[in-house]
Structure 1
Amino acid sequence: MKLMLKHLSSCYKVKQILEEDIWDVYILCKGNPTYYIYMKSEPTIENVKEDLTAFPPGKAMDDKHFVGFYKENQLIAIMDLIIEYPNNNTIFIGLFMLNKEYQGIGIGTKIINDALNFLKKEGYGCARLGFVKGNLQSEKFWTKNKFIPTGIEVEKENYTVVVMQRDL
């Protein structure tokens, strides 16, 4: 199912991130060092390219929407959505990152709420995501946005992912 991406936000232009947008995504990611500290990595052009094409087992590129939110012509946020994962009723947020300059003033929450309201109208019943255990900035943001821990934690090579969910 393809989403009408423009409806993910009432305030910002939304478009699919393409190969030609990688540099802008890289700059946005580079401005968010806290995320990468917990991931025990650093942003690179290569791992940005990997993010564009990464999807969970059992899913395909048609199920993935890696989008950018633009204020005028400036990329201010990125979001990776996987539709119908882990089940048909759920949308999975694989990544959400806001330009550091726009953090702490409600813009991230506005983007999340607009997107989830649209996805609810599209028939999804819940949204799910994971954050790296110990990243209090991420945990606080997602808790403020009504996500609650599911009790599921996934061990990765260098960190643990805490799975959260929000009913729509």
Structure 2
Amino acid sequence: MIRPLFHPADRPAVAAFLDEAADYWLLADGAPPGPQAADDFFTDCPPGCDPAASHRLGIFRDGRLSGLAELSFGFPEPADAYLGLMILAPRIRGLGHGARLLAHVERLAREAHAPVLYLGVIEANPRGRAFWERQGFRPTGITRQDDRNITHRLAKPL
């Protein structure tokens, strides 16, 4: 089941999920998610986007939150959609749930008339990049480097 997530009701489930999926944060940030990470999930979005217009989604398996997605609108261009986060619990990776969650995200982006869905993938995550490319995302040529990561922007026409 995929459904919207709401703060504060779903905050405990998000916090527990983030602990379970800490391997991604260790890869991306070099540290597990902190206590603020669950609250940040409900408010973070790309520059210029309205957090209130974003979708915060959860995929549930066996009654447990097993994946998260955050979809925002207005980045990089006003009509575009941006998938700021999509992560699955290690226990359900490789079972087709990522493609299912992405299909749901794409449907929401199409309903909002977004012409393109963008995302960023860190270079340290080749498995993630391979997933996105299998789903039809292609490099845009835009790359950003910060203290820890090189992030490549990918796009998929909708």
Deviation at residue 27 of structure 1 after TM alignment = 2.3
Q: How many correspondences in the alignment?
A: 157
Identity over aligned pairs, percent: 19
Question: Post-superposition, which runs of at least 4 consecutive aligned residues in structure 1 deviate over 6 A?
Answer: none
Contact residue 82 and residue 118 of structure 2 kept, 8 A: yes
The structure whose RCO (Cα within 8 Å, separation 6+) is larger is 1
The DSSP-based 3-state class of the residue aligned with 1:17 is coil
**Aligned equivalents of 1:127 and 1:32: distance in 2?**
24
Give TM-score scaled by structure 2 length: 0.87
Structure 2: tracts of 5 or more residues without a match: none
1:71 to 1:38, Cα distance in 2 relative to 1, 3 A:
closer
Give me the TM-score of the superposition, normalised by structure 1. Answer: 0.82
Match of 1:59 among 43, 49, 68: 49
> Residue 72 of structure 1: CA displacement?
6.0
Give CA-to-partner distance per residue, 1:100-156, whole Å, 9 cap, x none. 221111111111023213422431111000011121121111111111111111112
Deviating more after overlay: 140-149 vs 71-80: 71-80
Q: Which runs of 5+ in 1 are unaligned?
A: 1-11
Q: Do the aligned partners of residues 152 and 57 (structure 1) sit closer, same or farther apart at CA in structure 2, a change above 3 Å counting? A: same
Pairing 1:59-138 to 2, within 5 Å after superposition: 59-71=49-61, 73-138=63-128
Q: Is the 8 A contact 2:46 2:84 kept in 1?
A: no
Q: CA RMSD in A?
A: 1.9
1:20-35 correspondence to structure 2 within 5 Å = 20-35=9-24
State how far apart, in whole Å, the 2-side matches of 1:54 and 1:33 are.
18
CA distance in 2, matches of 1:148, 1:17: 31
